[in-house]
Amino acid sequence: MSDTDIVCYRLQACPFCERVVRRLQEYGLDYESRFVEPLHSERDAVKRLTGKRTVPAIVDERHGVTMSESANIVEYLDRTYGDGDDGGVA
Amino acid sequence: MDLDFDIVDLGPADHPEAGEQAPDFTRPLVTDEYWSDVALSDLVARDDDPTVLLFHPMDGAFPATYAWKEVRQRAWHESATVVGISISTPYAHKRLIDERELGDDYVLYSDPANGVAETYGIAHDLDGMAGVSEPRPAVFVLDDERTIEYAWVATEWPDFPDYDEIEAAIE
């Protein structure tokens, strides 16, 4: 279990994951990184959560949200933690 | 039969002793599914059971294989949280977990820069592997506040833990 609000499943050196992590950092969110294997077949932990084996995937306990696909996640983070409704930070 | 081989004397190590509190650290903790940064203080507090902190040579070296075979055979996970630590990467730990069939019963810390061994006073420069330092073989049994109940650190190389003694400490 983690005492942070957001768990981020990621793959080392995956640019889509870095994109999500950068957003988490921009919004100053406390997150736990869980690194998974390059082999898709080894990613059962992610599959159990999202139904898919792709990363990045996040679990945001505070809002009861679990999702994958970096574009979706970034959009969600902007909407939930961003300042305005323009979906981005300067 | 007279076996002709050399054991290297490592001399005494300046490590924390029974009764003292084991130094805390945070390193990637590798499970059979993923790895994430976990503090030793959080790991020991997860259950009421004692924690066995098992320092071993890099994954793939035979003492690492032997240690996990022994631990698994003795099913220490039933009475303790057993966590290995070596300088191997999380990827190598994942392979070890698969090969030794450790499943979700055992976990391993990854410490490639050997900082934890430095902190514990048990770092050991490897002869013939330039620039590589790893922990001496060592075992610490901890309670849920990291108080050391049992400590063993190799003073020779190679040397192996006394599994019966450790078992007595966790039961």
Q: What is the pLDDT of residues B44-88, one digit of tens each?
A: 999 899 999 999 999 999 999 999 999 999 999 999 999 999 999
Q: What is the mean pLDDT of residues A50-71?
A: 96
Least confident of A77-81, B1-5, B129-133, B141-145: B1-5
In B48-87, the residues whose Cβ lies within 8 Å of chain A are none
Coil/strand/helix, residue B71: helix
B34 vs A: CB within 8 A: yes
Q: Which helix (H) or strand (E) holds A23?
A: helix A15-26
Least confident of A1-5, A74-78, B129-133: A1-5
With respect to residue A89, please indicate whether it lies within any of the assigned structural domains.
Answer: no
A49 is in which domain, residue-wise? 6-81
Q: Is residue A12 part of a domain?
A: yes
Predicted structure pTM score = 0.92
Number of domains in chain A: 1
Categorize the per-residue pLDDT at B11 as very low, low, confident or very high, splitting at 50, 70 and 90.
confident
Say how far apart CA A70 and CA A9 lie, in whole Å.
11
Token pair belonging to B55: 């320092």
Closest-approach residue (CA) in chain A for B46: A1
Are residues B33 and A36, on separate chains, in Cβ contact within 8 Å?
yes
Residue A38 located in a structural domain: yes
**What CATH number has the domain bearing residue A70?**
3.40.30.10
pLDDT digits (tens, 9 = 90+) for B15-42: 999 999 999 999 999 999 999 999 999 9
Domains identified in chain B and CATH numbers: 18-162 (3.40.30.10)
Distance from CA of B133 to the nearest CA of A (A): 25
Q: d(Cα B137, Cα B147) in Å, to the nearest integer?
A: 20
Determine the straight-line distance between the first and last CA of chain A, rounded to whole angstroms.
34
